[in-house]
Structure 1
């Protein structure tokens, strides 16, 4: 079994801007369950009972713990999730994540910020 690389303490920058929650992990982060739980708590506090779309940026993340992935698949106050990623590893993480979890809201991967924000701000069809 492959071991994770040595941890790089992640920093999660979270803000609510123009109705969108932005979550950006620090470059080279190793995201463990406790980091995912902390991000979830901060987003819940920021959303204050209201649902918002989320733009997730995780530049060159080195590792995402399986338990952290389970936290990300749990209930969040989100309407949609756009994941901004361009590396092959980003696509591998996303494919694995989607195959193993029932996603709580529509989730897509994008290669550009503009496309991601356009999708997040497009009203859902009913």
Structure 2
């Protein structure tokens, strides 16, 4: 008798679930995110941050916190710009801005389980 086939992992998630477990945004996390995003803005000192959502997951063997949010960069004409970034707690809380003001942001946040309000 043949053994049962191994369960198939979803495409796009070779090792780990792309969905995050929601976590509250601490003051320290807020500082990491705002400092990281400000580095990519035209007018970082005048920027105002709006709603932010965060969640943690392990993906490809790496612990990460995904953060989705909005920033109003006073130096740009777009108003509230959506962004997605990642914090890597195992790497000294380093921050990576994945995308800002791009059509991919809302989809990437939704895939991670962080549905941003419009």
Whose helix fraction is larger, Structure 1's or Structure 2's?
A: 1
Whose strand fraction is larger, Structure 1's or Structure 2's?
A: 2
- With the shorter chain as reference, the TM-score category is under 0.3
For the pair shown, which has the larger CA radius of gyration, 1 or 2? 2
* TM-score normalized with structure 2 length: 0.25
